[in-house]
Amino acid sequence: MLGAGREASRREIESLYRRLALKRHPDRGGSEEDMKALNEAYRVLHDDEARSKYDLQRRPVAEAPAIYVKPAVREVGIYGQLLSALLCLVLGLMLLLLVRSNGLWFLFPLSILALGVILFGVLMVHSAMTSARASLRRTHPARRFRTAQEIIFWSAVCGAGYGVYLILNMI
């Protein structure tokens, strides 16, 4: 009736009662029966002894069963992530080479799309690397050198990006 939770304090119950009493009072357009029911609920919940009796008589509310959902990373696995990343990188590079080799620079939106696909592939490789590191046992030495792994990874990405830039300028 008050909308109070099972663990609500006396102060919370008083606050809920006052708020609802202002809405349901007969002088403010509420019905007399609603106000009586509200007063009875407040009387029971405000008194500690009456509240404990009420809690004992109350039927337990069946809680919804917990739903367990596996994260998508574990379903695909690290090799699935790497395969997806490889496909993104290959597709992006093919689009870049297509635009550059045919001289179709008026299709620059295709180049932007290709760069986006390549960036997505790089992020997927990074996610696979993070998942692989997380799957190792806690005492494994590779888990301690996360900063070094990140520096090496991003250095390799920048180096590969520069290499692709040089190759595209040679064509």
* Exposure class string for 114-147: b at 16+ Cβ within 10 A, else e: beebbebbbebbbbbbbbeeeeeeeeeeeeeeee
Q: Where are the beta strands (DSSP E) in 50-116?
A: none
What is the model's pTM? Answer: 0.52
Structure tokens at 12: 């919370």
| 116-167 pLDDT tens trace | 999 999 999 998 888 888 888 888 888 888 888 899 999 999 999 999 888 8
**pLDDT tens-place string over residues 56-101:** 777 665 555 666 665 665 567 788 888 989 999 999 988 888 887 7
CB 51 within 8 A of CB 44: yes
pLDDT at 29: 77
H helix count then E strand count, the chain: 6, 0
